[in-house]
């Protein structure tokens, strides 16, 4: 019995190419100019483009209306500094450099504003809708249209497509990585390795979740390589023995791939003469990802009590970065030196140019190759957000119920039936879910990384199930019960789609800056933008053309988003004690935390009554964070859990329950 039979696979494995034939094909390819074939522009492509247009409208409509979130103001302000010629230095605190380069470029082209700061994310979120076409042969017409439609209306994807964050950038790079791995296993073309190399570089330069994506892809390729190698063994094994041997071999598949050029004689003895395409993927993805793992040496060193700091850290960092980059080059050049040189060259050119900002910030070498992983490893113990372990179990039914029901449950059914693409997509979702659930930091924007594989799973399920169901029903053999079941299922799907659209519209348009639901989490109050207009009006009212000094209290990160809104003014950011001690210019405008100046302070006589405002407000999380197994069981059986859930899904929470951090603006008399 073959491995495909043992695992229930219904698809043919990719063709295995002997090394001699592969070398001949490479020589032929070098003598022939590449041919570029235009896509088939039939009605399916036009239908997807129509959905892309709808997505664009949904993502840019009133894009600048919502107040700038704390994180958005950081991204926008430092991008604005960059666009103004003040340079840029990569800081792992704000993730990779890609978003700062692209937002700064948009500021140079279109001017600086809230809309322009969010426009790159909106355009990437729009482009994402077209990506199912890259898997059209496997998803089918119905699957492509289903996936594209769900990418348009997914509440998580729509909301963060209208947000100056990096989540939609990384979503596009992740899909390109998934597609390139699948497509290379199918046809073995160099272009997919180049796509994977470029997407991997851009992904590492965007967000550190790339370590998770790369780990999942390497795990998948290792498992598929191990089973491909088991198929080539000279001696016959029964089906279950092949499965067991394949699973045992998987953790060591990377060793086989790395030493492939050096083990020809030994491999010939056991039948491993044909190089599976998974070897190529493992070498390219493994060597390029390995160049980013130097800082992981701190994990074993920490276990034996060795702490890295000062000169010791610099020495270890330089040594490890050199070792992983050089080691990857040795393995890659020994594999296929021309192909690896192209892939690695593309990867490192993109990576180095972004992290060093075109070699204007040479410290970017260290902040990229070492500090990125170093910083985020340390952050896992901080546990920002302090969310419970079931956080994403709660979030997904609220925002991605349709894809969760159809994609996840339907995907399990297809995997049982042996569908290989579904197994790949399900690994993408389950692996991402497991790591994010275990991670110390859980945040609502990470729901994007769970919604994305669920959408593609739903497309796969719809592409296989709906056409077969339609042929069966219209073939004249289906009983009346089947028609009734199909009608009920269709009605349920329509209701779920309506619920999804309603949820997406609510969070993105009805109350996008009012945190009455957990996806919004924390948000700058809508009272801030009009108040900033008044500050400008007063600050620039001097008929002699001068500016009234502005001082901003730094208590509670009050500086953000004021640093963005007051970017065209000269502003001093000072601690609260300095304001209480009167350490500011006479007649200045003061922005303080609430009650920073006590009622008896004589400064009050020099100012009008302060304008009180809500600076930042957030969704109250105390309810679900206090849930225990006992309270969950009790509320489930007495029915209160279901009733509370239905009530929340219908009306969210009252605005009066929102927590807030308030401030005051003092205008001089």
| Overall domain count for the chain | 2
Positive or negative: CA dihedral 520, 521, 527, 531: negative
pLDDT at position 169 is: 97
DSSP letter string, 110-172: H-SSHHHHHHHHHHHHHHHTTGGGGGHHHHHHHHHHHHHHHHHH-HHHHHHHTSSSSHHHHHH
How confident is the model over 273-288, as a mean pLDDT? 94
At 242-274, the pLDDT tens digits run: 888 888 999 999 999 999 898 888 888 888 888
Phi, psi for residue 422 in degrees, rounded to 5: -60, -40
Query: How does residue 551 score in pLDDT terms, banded at 50, 70 and 90?
Result: very high
Q: What's the rounded Cα separation, in Å, for the pair 300 and 290?
A: 16
pLDDT beyond 70 at 394: yes
pLDDT beyond 50 at 3: no
402 and 458 Cβ atoms separated by less than 8 Å? yes
pLDDT at position 476 is: 66
Query: How does residue 121 score in pLDDT terms, banded at 50, 70 and 90?
Result: very high
CA dihedral in degrees (147, 148, 152, 153; nearest 10)? -30
Give the start-end residues of each E strand in 249-356: 274-275
Is 272 within the bounds of a domain? yes
pLDDT beyond 80 at 375: no
pLDDT beyond 90 at 414: yes
Burial class (CB in 10 A: 0-12, 13-18, 19+), 281: buried
How confident is the model over 210-219, as a mean pLDDT? 95
pLDDT at position 141 is: 94
pLDDT at position 12 is: 38
pLDDT at position 268 is: 85
Q: What's the rounded Cα separation, in Å, for the pair 255 and 522?
A: 46
pLDDT at position 18 is: 45
Domain boundary among 347, 379, 411: 379
Q: What's the rounded Cα separation, in Å, for the pair 100 and 117?
A: 10
Is 373 within the bounds of a domain? yes
Is 528 within the bounds of a domain? yes
pLDDT at position 19 is: 44
pLDDT at position 393 is: 92
Higher pLDDT, 624 or 145: 145
177 and 449 Cβ atoms separated by less than 8 Å? no
pLDDT beyond 60 at 228: yes
Is 276 within the bounds of a domain? yes
604 and 579 Cβ atoms separated by less than 8 Å? no
Query: How does residue 475 score in pLDDT terms, banded at 50, 70 and 90?
Result: confident
Query: How does residue 546 score in pLDDT terms, banded at 50, 70 and 90?
Result: confident
For helices 448-474 and 136-153, angle between their N-to-C axes, nearest 10 degrees? 120
Beta bridge partners of 330: none
Q: Check whether the bond before 125 is cis (ω within 30° of 0).
A: no
Angle at 120 (CA atoms; ends 115, 125), nearest 5 degrees: 110
Query: How does residue 653 score in pLDDT terms, banded at 50, 70 and 90?
Result: confident
pLDDT beyond 50 at 297: yes
Q: What's the rounded Cα separation, in Å, for the pair 260 and 480?
A: 59
Is 237 within the bounds of a domain? yes
pLDDT beyond 80 at 377: no
- Residue 546 to residues 2, 150, 534, Cα–Cα distance (Å): 82, 53, 16
Mapping DSSP onto H, E and C, the string for 563-621 reads HHHCCCCCEEEECHHHHHCCCCCCCCEEEEECCCCCCCCHHHHHECCCEEEEEEEECCC
pLDDT at position 327 is: 93
How confident is the model over 470-474, as a mean pLDDT? 77
pLDDT at position 30 is: 44
Give the other-Cβ count within 10 Å of 149's Cβ: 23
Query: How does residue 15 score in pLDDT terms, banded at 50, 70 and 90?
Result: very low
Is 258 within the bounds of a domain? yes
Give the start-end residues of each E strand in 218-319: 274-275
pLDDT beyond 60 at 64: yes
How confident is the model over 231-251, as a mean pLDDT? 83
pLDDT beyond 80 at 62: yes
pLDDT beyond 90 at 57: yes
Q: Which residue has the tokens 């790949």?
A: 424
Q: Among 516, 551, 468, which Cα is nearest to 652's?
A: 516
Domain boundary among 329, 357, 379: 379
406 and 493 Cβ atoms separated by less than 8 Å? yes
Mapping DSSP onto H, E and C, the string for 57-90 reads HHHHCCCCCCCCCHHHHHHHHHHHHHHCCCCCCC
Q: What's the rounded Cα separation, in Å, for the pair 597 and 592?
A: 8
Is 301 within the bounds of a domain? yes
Angle at 478 (CA atoms; ends 473, 479), nearest 5 degrees: 135
Average pLDDT, the chain: 87
How confident is the model over 36-54, as a mean pLDDT? 80
pLDDT at position 16 is: 40
How confident is the model over 319-334, as a mean pLDDT? 92
Positive or negative: CA dihedral 537, 538, 543, 548: negative
Query: How does residue 231 score in pLDDT terms, banded at 50, 70 and 90?
Result: confident
Higher pLDDT, 633 or 108: 108
pLDDT at position 484 is: 81
pLDDT at position 419 is: 92
pLDDT beyond 60 at 194: yes
Q: What's the rounded Cα separation, in Å, for the pair 550 and 68?
A: 20
Report the percent of the chain where pLDDT is more than 90.
Answer: 61
At 492-513, the pLDDT tens digits run: 999 999 999 999 999 999 999 9
CA dihedral in degrees (639, 640, 642, 645; nearest 10)? 180
Query: How does residue 597 score in pLDDT terms, banded at 50, 70 and 90?
Result: confident
- Residue 151 to residues 145, 226, 501, Cα–Cα distance (Å): 10, 34, 11
pLDDT beyond 70 at 386: yes
Domain boundary among 343, 361, 379: 379
Q: Report residue 416 as tokens.
A: 């049982």
pLDDT at position 283 is: 96
Q: What's the rounded Cα separation, in Å, for the pair 325 and 318?
A: 11
Q: What's the rounded Cα separation, in Å, for the pair 212 and 217?
A: 9
Structural domain containing residue 341: 1-32+198-379
Is 470 within the bounds of a domain? no
Query: How does residue 286 score in pLDDT terms, banded at 50, 70 and 90?
Result: very high
pLDDT at position 482 is: 73
215 and 373 Cβ atoms separated by less than 8 Å? no
Model-level pTM?
A: 0.89
How confident is the model over 191-220, as a mean pLDDT? 95
- Residue 521 to residues 376, 460, 560, Cα–Cα distance (Å): 21, 32, 16
Q: Indicate the pairing of strand 611-618 with strand 659-666.
A: antiparallel
């Amino acid at each position: 019995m073959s491995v495909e039979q043992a695992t229930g696979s219904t698809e043919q494995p990719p063709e295995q190419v002997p090394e001699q034939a592969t070398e001949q094909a490479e020589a032929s390819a070098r003598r022939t100019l590449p041919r570029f074939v235009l896509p088939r522009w039939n009605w399916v492509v036009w239908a997807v483009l129509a959905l892309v247009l709808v997505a664009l409208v949904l993502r840019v409509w009133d894009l600048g209306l919502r107040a700038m979130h704390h994180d958005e103001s950081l991204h926008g302000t430092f991008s604005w500094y960059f666009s103004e010629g003040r340079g840029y230095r990569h800081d792992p605190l704000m993730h990779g450099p890609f978003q700062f380069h692209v937002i700064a470029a948009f500021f140079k082209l279109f001017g600086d504003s809230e809309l322009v700061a969010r426009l790159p994310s909106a355009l990437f979120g729009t482009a994402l809708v077209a990506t199912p076409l890259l898997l059209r042969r496997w998803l089918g017409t119905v699957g492509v249209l289903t996936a594209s439609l769900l990418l348009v209306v997914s509440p998580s994807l729509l909301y963060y497509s209208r947000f100056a964050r990096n989540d939609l950038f990384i979503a596009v790079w992740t899909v390109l990585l998934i597609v390139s791995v699948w497509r290379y296993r199918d046809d073995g073309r160099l272009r997919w390795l180049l796509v994977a190399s470029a997407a991997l570089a851009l992904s590492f330069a965007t967000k550190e979740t790339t370590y998770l994506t790369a780990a999942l892809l390497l795990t998948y390729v290792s498992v598929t390589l191990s089973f491909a190698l088991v198929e080539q063994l000279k001696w016959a094994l029964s089906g279950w023995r092949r499965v067991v041997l394949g699973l045992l071999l998987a953790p060591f598949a990377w060793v086989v791939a790395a030493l492939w050029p050096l083990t020809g004689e030994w491999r010939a003895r056991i039948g491993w003469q044909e190089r599976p395409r998974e070897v190529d993927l493992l070498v390219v993805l493994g060597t390029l990802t390995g160049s980013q793992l130097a800082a992981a040496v701190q994990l074993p060193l920490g276990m034996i009590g060795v702490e890295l700091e000062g000169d010791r850290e610099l020495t270890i960092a330089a040594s490890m970065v050199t070792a992983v980059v050089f080691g990857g080059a040795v393995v890659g050049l020994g594999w296929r030196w021309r192909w690896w040189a192209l892939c690695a060259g593309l990867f490192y050119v993109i990576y180095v140019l972004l992290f060093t900002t075109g070699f204007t910030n040479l410290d970017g070498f260290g902040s990229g190759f070492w500090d990125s992983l170093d910083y985020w490893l340390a952050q896992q113990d901080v546990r920002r957000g302090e969310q419970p372990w079931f956080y994403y179990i709660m979030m997904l039914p609220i925002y991605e119920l349709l894809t969760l029901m159809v994609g996840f449950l339907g995907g399990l059914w297809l995997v049982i039936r042996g569908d290989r693409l579904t197994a790949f997509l399900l690994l993408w979702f389950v692996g991402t879910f497991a790591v994010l659930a275990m991670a110390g930091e859980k945040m609502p924007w990470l729901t994007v990384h769970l919604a994305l594989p669920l959408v593609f799973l739903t497309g796969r399920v719809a592409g296989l199930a709906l056409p077969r169901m339609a042929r069966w029903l219209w073939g004249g053999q289906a009983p009346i019960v089947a028609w009734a079941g199909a009608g009920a299922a269709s009605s349920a799907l329509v209701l779920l789609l309506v619920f999804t659209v309603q949820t997406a519209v609510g969070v993105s348009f009805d109350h996008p800056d009012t945190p009455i639901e957990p996806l919004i989490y924390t948000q700058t109050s809508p009272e801030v933008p009009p108040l900033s207009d008044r500050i400008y009006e007063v600050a620039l009212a001097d008929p002699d053309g001068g500016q009234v000094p502005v001082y901003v209290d730094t208590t509670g990160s009050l500086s953000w988003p004021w640093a963005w809104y007051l970017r065209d003014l000269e502003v001093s950011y000072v601690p609260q004690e300095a304001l209480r001690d009167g350490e500011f210019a006479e007649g200045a405008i003061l922005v303080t935390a609430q009650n920073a100046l006590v009622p008896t302070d004589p400064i009050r006589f020099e100012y009008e009554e302060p304008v009180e405002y809500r600076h930042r407000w957030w969704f109250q999380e105390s309810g679900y964070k206090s849930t225990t197994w006992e309270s969950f069981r009790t509320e489930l059986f007495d029915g209160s859990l279901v009733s509370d859930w239905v009530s929340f899904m219908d009306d969210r929470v009252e605005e009066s329950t929102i927590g807030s951090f308030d401030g005051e603006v003092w205008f001089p008399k």
